[in-house]
Every structure is written in structure tokens, then in C-alpha cells.
Structure 1
Amino acid sequence: MVIKTLDIQTIRKDFPILQREVNGQPLVYLDNAATSQTPQQVIDVIVDYYQGYNANIHRGVHTLSQEATDAYEAARQKIQKHFNIAHSHEVIMTSGTTHGINLVATGFTSFLKKGDQIIVSAMEHHSNIVPWQMLCERTGAILKVVPMNLDGELVIEEYHKLLSDKTKLVFCNHVSNALGTINPIEEIIEAAHKVGAAVLIDGAQAAAHIKADLQALDVDFYTVSAHKMCGPTGVGMLYGKEEWLKKLPPYQGGGEMIAEVTFEKTTYADLPHKFEAGTPNICGGIAFGAALDYMNSIGFDAIAQYEDELLQYATEQLLAIDGLKIYGTPAHKTSVISFNIEGAHPYDIGTIVDKLGIAVRTGHHCAQPIMDFYKIPGTVRASFSFYNTREEVDKLVEGVKRARNMLL
């Protein structure tokens, strides 16, 4: 297969924000793992919605409502196609990954009992830890943790030892937001299913880099956020196998998720509306579909190849700085580099490079157990997207060198 070469300068012109300055310097945006930037093609869709057919969906016979409904449901079908989902009603529109995880965690309350076991990995985002702790508190289930090693990889042998007939749920991120590690989710899913456990994969960090085939993975639940993949904030999707979604109770009560309401009894709507109470982020959902169109027009194979080249280059350049250590050196990772400089606090480094127009993330990245494992307060995280350049990497390296010289 021949993978096309990306025209990065042409791509960069699609992103208006990349043309601005920060602190008198050209913006170097390297915080893509937190939120990616939005291309003009998606911005235009957002403007067009509010200027042309802003109306509520599924409830009106008037023209604007029908147009909005058609555009929203078309976006659901784009999500279905992108992730190779069998049925569009298996796509639940959410406010983001955290919403999707909490929906599942709340729904499983009635399925678990004291002594049942839930397994999570040691490298989870807080949003894939706290809801399961709350679920255990409600049900008496026990939370087990798959350990990680110093390279930032899961100790998969220990995962297999944790599995038993008491295991009911397994949760793991596809890609670590703090380290960039690509986890072996195929093996994790297959092993869990052998003991009868359901699996939820947090795909928030993977979706911008990896085009997941959810039917091939045979995963029970998969969640993503649009703002990690060139879309707007406040919208995402939860995929759930039809058999599971039919068994789970509604997450919220309100309009849209009902079939019939009387004061004596309420019956619930069919999928997916059973889980979509209230007026959704209509514009966000439509723009999510547009973001998928944009990224697919570039091509995920080309994106992956280019980002990997950028990752390798950035890794080599950063490691040449005295005292710099990278956390997360697995065999398979996406374009994320978490690092510290011996003797310097990550917050101080981030503050100095910001004055140079360079946006990186500092702190524990909502993955405090990872930082506790390494016995550090946090890291500086540079995360790259397909619109970043080698020249921007060079500016980052020079900025980090300058910070080091100022701090040490």
C-alpha cells in the first residue's frame, strides 16, 4: 500500500489559529492530547448551522427542525461508518468520553454484587478510574489494577492472572494520555471475553491517530471525544453493542428518551434515544461528523506515518538536552512525549516556553497514579498532530534549552 505524502503547509492553512501570535511569538501548539485545533472546514459547518437552520431535532414538523434532524442523524451515520459499527443505533451521542464512561458505570450498578471484580489498568485517566470506584462503593464490587512497568507498558502477564470467573468488567484506555502508550487492547478484549467479562475501551487519545474497527475488535463499549480529533468541545460518542445497550437502564430521564409518559408509568424510547435525554449538542454533533470527513480526507494512514516521523525526530532532539528524561518509552506509542529536566519543576518549564509562544501541557495530566508510580509531581507533555512541523519541534527544543539554562 502506498501512503500519500502530506502537504503540511497547505494543511496548516486550514487552521486559522495557527496563524496567530502568543506573547509576540508565532504560536507553536503542542497540546493536542488535551484538545486538537479546529479546521476552517469544521468552523464553517458550525457557523452554517447557527446562521441557516438552528432548530431543535426529532420534535418538529417544520422545515428547520427537519433539516437539523437530517444533519444530526447524518453525522451519527458518519460516526458509524468511520468506526465500522454495525448499526447506527449503537452510536450514543454524548458530551464526551467522560459522559460515556459514567453512562456505562451507572448502568452496571444493577448488574453487580458484592465480591464481583472490576479490572482497570494502572495508566488510566481519572475519568476511567473514579466512576468505577464509585460503582464499587455502590455495589460492593472489588477494583483490581493491572500494573505497569518503567517503560510505560502494561504488565500483560499480570492482567491474565487477575482474570477469573468473578471478573465482570474490564476497562482500559486504547492510548495513554500521559505517556502515549498504545495498549494491546485486542489481547485484553479477547482474554476478558473468555471469562465472560464485558470490556470498555477509552478511545479518547487513540481516535486522532488510530482508526479503530470496532467490529473487528469485538469490544463491548468504546468512547471518544470530538475535540481530540479536530471537532468541537462538548460532544462525543459512546459505542455499545446492541445487546448491552438494551440491557442497560437509561442514564438520565427527560425528553426524547421516552416512548410514553403518564403519572403512573413511563416507557422508554428505542435505541439510541433511550440514552439521549434532553436537547443534545446539535451543532456539535453535526460538526463532529464534519471533523471526521476532514480527517478522512487527509487519510489516517498518512497521518499515522507523518506523526510517527515527527515523534521520532522530537524524541532524538529532546534527548540531546542534558538532564532531560522521557517518561513512557514503550515499543508502540503515539505522538506524545512526557519529559522532565532534572532539578527543574515541569510547571516552571511550561511557563517559560509559553512566553516563547509554545503551548505544552504541564502537571499530572489527570493521570496521577502514573506520576505516583514514577515518584514525580508531573511532567511536561508535548503532543503532536499532523499539522505540526519539524520547525516547531526545533522551537520547542530551543525553548526547553532556554528554560533549563534559566532554571539551573
Structure 2
Amino acid sequence: MLLTSPWRADFPGILALEAQGQTYLDSAATAQKPQAMLNALLGYYAGGAANVHRAQHLPGERATRAFEATREKLAHWLNAPGPAQIIFTRSATEAFNLLAYGLESQFQAGDELVISALEHHANLLPWQQLALRRGLKLVVLPLNESGLIDLTQAAQLIGPRTRLLAVSQLSNVLGCWQPLDRLLALAKAQNALTVVDGAQGVVHGRHDMQTLGCDFYVCSSHKLYGPDGVGILYGREDALQRLQHWQFGGEMLVHTDYQSAQFRPAPLGFEAGTPPIASVIALGASLDYLAGLDNAAVAAHEAALHTQLLDGLAAREGIRLLGEPHVALASFVVEDVHNADLAHLLTEQGIAVRAGHHCAMPLLQSLGLAGALRVSLGLYNDAGDLQRFFAALDQALELLR
């Protein structure tokens, strides 16, 4: 009996792609959107768009209420102490850059910033460039054979000069939940700031910021079944107070004259200019949709699909799985087959998977690879999608071999 998704019909994009002969298996890059989100997006524009926080007229007040309601929903989703600890950015990438520039004055030459070997470029390059600007040392935590950050070596590398630890919760290449509790404890023992890349992790399960205990947590709307153009930065209240303002413009200030300015604290002080109003409001609708689902049923569905994916890859000769993925995705290479050639043949058969270095070029280089294929799953995928993928994979491998 095929494993079906009871939520598939809620995603018009998946149904449209299926009608076009496309099988979408790239949700780790961006997820398809529920009808509820599309309704909210159209509702904002069709009902009368207006800017937020500034106007006293009714359309502006209505937009502001809807915009700020999403901030409250995110605070609840992440169990943050309050909505003032949620900052909206234009992407997760912008959130990391906000942190790198906003915290720059906290560091002195010789201080150490610690990341891991598996980081996405968004959580590598801002710290790399900050280290170059300020004469800091960028320390890279190695991985073990399972794709987890090596805790024994981490305990040796996180030391008295460590001022910041920035690590992923769930790898976008290896699909492994990282041992955050141990890593964060090592950093806190050195009074270092802690940043968690939750772009992949936030999609799978609910994560409690007060229990997790990191200083900052970054995630992205478009992977969380919301619209693109919105990043989310959670910060602990005392950590947010350490940030310096990094972008300047309308709304983020209390007062200015020609020579000086006084800026607002978080969150509005870090949301200069007109924010992505429609997308933020629509993200709220996605959160409402997700909150209405049976979390246990979603987790069980994703786990069963993931097992089918791993079993199917293991059953085929010459396939090397990268790491030991825990949930939602699998990256792999095939012996004597170039990943780009394989991706091309899959594309010709209507299979949408990701190929290349997955914005983690140093990780792939450390594995001796130029690239890999990645299959990633959303709650709307079903066993039929995997059947079509494996049929296309077998045909492609037969041609290439």
C-alpha cells in the first residue's frame, strides 16, 4: 500500500507540478506553499495594501495589526519570552549578516569565532569576512564519520579565546541533527555568544528557544511553507542589547537631526525601511496552517518517507550516502557517475532534485567531492513521488553506466 500524504491537496503548487509531469523533491531549498498562505497574500494586496507602523489611517492600522500578529505567532511558535525578541529580515542570510555587523564591536584582534565544517555559506561567509576585517581567528569544528560535529575535538577547540559559536541545528547536506545541547554548553562555559542556524531544523518539529538556550536563532520563511523574502532572527533580550545598528533608514529611529540620530531598540530598530509586509502577513497564515496539523502525524509521515528513501538508495549498487541523515533528506553520489550528468537525466524525466555543492562548498571539498545529489522531502510528498524518483534514477544509471 502506498504511503500517501493527507496534506497534499492543501498545496496547489504540488498539484500543478504533478499535472506538468514534475515530481518535486527539493523542499530543503524551498518549500511549496499551502492555499491558506496564498489566500493571505492575495487578501492583503486585494484588500488594500498599506505601509506599517507609520500611518494613522485605517488601511495602515489594519496592515500593522496583521504584521505584528505574525511576530506574536512566531514568538509562540518558538516559545520566545515575547514578540519583541523576533526581528524580521529579508532572508536568513541577511539575519546572519545583521549579527556579524551588529556584533563586530564586541570582538578584538585575536579573538576566536567558532563554526563547524558543515555550515551553509550563509553561516560561514559573514563570520569569515568578520574575522578578516577584525583580525579574528575562525576556528572550524571537524565532523565524525556520521556527519555529526565531533564533541571530543569541539571540547578542545572551544576555549578561553572563543567569543562566538555559530552552528547549524540540522545540516542541509547531511541531514543530521547536531548535538546542540553539548555544543552550546561548551560555548557558555567560555561566556561566548551562541548562534544557531535553524533554517532546516525549524521545519521539522517545534523547537523551544527557552529550553535550547542559544543567544540567537535564525530561520527562513520560504522553507517553513511561507513566502520568500522573509528571514527570522530570534534573540535573547540581553543578547539583542549587544547588537549595534547596521542598516539605517525610515522607522528604525526615535529622533534625528542633520548631525546625529537616536535609534530604536529591537525589534523595530533593526527593521529599517519598508519591510516585506505582504510576506510577513502571509507567513502568519502558514504558521496558522501548520499549527492546525497533527504534529505527531506529520513527524510519522516524514519518518516513514525518509526510511523509504534511505532503503531505496541502499538497495542500489554504487551509491554512497553522505553522512547518516536523520530526517527529510539524503545527499548521495554514485560511483563513476558525475552528479551533474545524473541530475540532467533526472531533470529530463521530470524529477526535481538538487545537484551541486548545496551552498556548502568547503564541506563537499573536505569529502573529496565536487558535488552531490540531494533529495529532500516536504509534508506533501508521498510514496508515489519516491517511486517516480527511483524509476527515473534506475533509467538514468542504466544509460550512464
State the TM-score, normalizing by the size of structure 1: 0.95
Separation in structure 2 between the aligned mates of residue 51 and residue 158 of structure 1, nearest angstrom: 55
User: 1:9-408 counterparts in 2 under 5 A?
Assistant: 9-21=5-17, 26-329=21-324, 333-408=326-401
Name the count of aligned residue pairs: 399
SS at match of 1:13: helix
Shift of 1:10: 4.0
- Sort the Cα spacing of 1:9 and 1:137 in 2 relative to 1 into closer, same or farther, 3 A: closer
Separation in structure 2 between the aligned mates of residue 55 and residue 85 of structure 1, nearest angstrom: 28
Q: What per-residue deviation string (whole Å, max 9, x for no partner) do you get for residues 235-272 of structure 1?
A: 02100111121221112011111000111320011321
The answer as to whether partners of 2:357 and 2:370 remain within 8 angstroms in 1 is: yes
Q: What per-residue deviation string (whole Å, max 9, x for no partner) do you get for residues 24-69 of structure 1?
A: 8632110000000001110000000000031000000110000000
Separation in structure 2 between the aligned mates of residue 54 and residue 90 of structure 1, nearest angstrom: 26
RMSD: 1.4
AA at the equivalent of 2:331? S
Shift of 1:8: 4.6
Structure 1 runs not aligned, ≥5 long: 1-6
Separation in structure 1 between the aligned mates of residue 287 and residue 375 of structure 2, nearest angstrom: 24
Structure 2 runs not aligned, ≥5 long: none
Separation in structure 2 between the aligned mates of residue 34 and residue 356 of structure 1, nearest angstrom: 20
Separation in structure 1 between the aligned mates of residue 308 and residue 42 of structure 2, nearest angstrom: 38
The answer as to whether partners of 1:109 and 1:138 remain within 8 angstroms in 2 is: no
Separation in structure 1 between the aligned mates of residue 17 and residue 222 of structure 2, nearest angstrom: 22
Separation in structure 1 between the aligned mates of residue 235 and residue 17 of structure 2, nearest angstrom: 42
Q: What per-residue deviation string (whole Å, max 9, x for no partner) do you get for residues 293-338 of structure 1?
A: 11121133322221111111111112111211111215xx221110
Q: What per-residue deviation string (whole Å, max 9, x for no partner) do you get for residues 109-154 of structure 1?
A: 1110011111000000011111001111121110101001232121
The answer as to whether partners of 1:19 and 1:26 remain within 8 angstroms in 2 is: no
Q: What per-residue deviation string (whole Å, max 9, x for no partner) do you get for residues 324-380 of structure 1?
A: 1111215xx221110111111111111111122211000000001111121011111
The answer as to whether partners of 2:17 and 2:24 remain within 8 angstroms in 1 is: no
AA at the equivalent of 1:339? F
The answer as to whether partners of 2:90 and 2:231 remain within 8 angstroms in 1 is: yes
Separation in structure 1 between the aligned mates of residue 394 and residue 66 of structure 2, nearest angstrom: 49
Separation in structure 2 between the aligned mates of residue 151 and residue 360 of structure 1, nearest angstrom: 23
Separation in structure 1 between the aligned mates of residue 301 and residue 370 of structure 2, nearest angstrom: 31
Separation in structure 2 between the aligned mates of residue 314 and residue 344 of structure 1, nearest angstrom: 20
SS at match of 1:237: strand
The answer as to whether partners of 2:4 and 2:383 remain within 8 angstroms in 1 is: no
Shift of 1:385: 1.1
Shift of 1:185: 0.9
AA at the equivalent of 1:252? Q
Shift of 1:210: 2.5
Of 364-373 and 70-79, more deviation after overlay is shown by: 364-373
Separation in structure 1 between the aligned mates of residue 313 and residue 44 of structure 2, nearest angstrom: 43
Shift of 1:277: 0.2
State the TM-score, normalizing by the size of structure 2: 0.97
Of 71-80 and 245-254, more deviation after overlay is shown by: 245-254
- Sort the Cα spacing of 1:251 and 1:299 in 2 relative to 1 into closer, same or farther, 3 A: farther
Separation in structure 2 between the aligned mates of residue 291 and residue 21 of structure 1, nearest angstrom: 20
The answer as to whether partners of 1:25 and 1:356 remain within 8 angstroms in 2 is: no
Shift of 1:21: 4.6
Separation in structure 2 between the aligned mates of residue 132 and residue 406 of structure 1, nearest angstrom: 43
Separation in structure 1 between the aligned mates of residue 186 and residue 333 of structure 2, nearest angstrom: 36
